[in-house]
Amino acid sequence: MADALSFFKPVLVKVNPLSYRSVTAKLYSILLQEKGKEVFIDLTDMPPVMASAVTVVAMMFENVKLYGVQPEQRGDFIPDPDTPEFEDFVERKDSLVAAGTYVVERPGIPIELISDEKEEKILLTLYDKNGSARSISQLIEWLGENPKDPVTKASYSRLIAGMEEKGLVRRLREGRSRAVMLTDLGASLAEAMVKKEVGKPYYALPKKPLVLPKL
């Protein structure tokens, strides 16, 4: 780790460090582009929300290393990224004398949250439709398939159940139907794919920022 970092030129990424969505979407899109390469992420001085989001996303990719620097002097409050104070903070942080580095160990096998094209299409479709469908039948229609076909409906019901277990969507009982909506994690990954054009060409960012209802 120390040898690798001696040649390491950090790349600053502008995100809102207090927004789980901002951090998750940005980092996921970057790691998709850098997939297969060795990536080092400095957790030093990250606020808790940002550090937790980075850790979750890092576990989805191989060759991502999380590390931190233990300075001789302790860090201070992180200013807003869009202010001159933030640049001063980064400069001060980088000039601190390190007492040592530490590696954040993680499982060697990445967690594969999006395992096939249908799951990706469901995420992107829900994102395009402002985050939710009234029912699985409505979602199936949006995907261009026949919701009245029992085999098709059963197949998508199993798929949605699996995505719910992964934390990508949640199902809510609404009358006789069960609505399907993106979780914050699912919306973050969909946003990353849309912004970096990893998904299908016709998907676009919603006209208004996607705001998921609080449960």
**Domain boundary assignment for the chain:** 2-104, 117-195
Residue type for position 75: G
- pLDDT at res. 137: 95
Q: Please report the beta strands in 48-97, taking only residues with DSSP state E, as ranges in sequence order.
A: 64-71
Cα dihedral 163, 196, 28, 22, rounded to 10, equals -100
> The dihedral of CA 5, 8, 9, 11: what is its sign?
negative
What tokens were used for 95? Answer: 């000039």
User: CA angle at residue 21 from 19 to 23, to 5 degrees?
Assistant: 70
**Could you tell me which residues come within 8 angstroms of residue 8 by beta carbon, excluding any fewer than 6 positions away?**
40
- pLDDT at res. 181: 96
* pLDDT tens for the chain, residues 1 to 215: 556 555 567 677 788 888 888 999 999 999 998 888 888 888 888 888 899 899 989 988 888 888 887 655 555 556 777 777 777 766 666 665 544 555 556 667 777 888 889 999 999 999 999 999 999 999 999 999 999 999 999 999 999 999 999 999 999 987 778 899 999 999 999 998 887 754 444 444 455 555 565 54
- From the candidate CATH numbers 1.10.10.10, 1.10.260.40, 1.10.1270.20, 3.40.50.11540, the one assigned to the domain spanning 117-195: 1.10.10.10
* Residue 133: φ, ψ to 5°: -125, 145
- pLDDT at res. 29: 92
Contacts for 43-46: CB closer than 8 Å, 24+ residues apart: 43/67, 43/68, 43/104, 44/68, 44/69, 44/71, 44/75, 44/93, 45/75, 45/78, 45/93, 46/17
What tokens were used for 201? Answer: 């060409």
144: left (phi over 0), alpha (psi -120 to 50) or beta: left
- pLDDT at res. 145: 96
Instruction: Note if the pTM is more than 0.75.
Output: no
- pLDDT at res. 158: 95
* Residue 174: φ, ψ to 5°: -130, 95
* Residue 100: φ, ψ to 5°: 160, 170
CA pair distance 58, 39, nearest whole angstrom? 10
- pLDDT at res. 200: 45
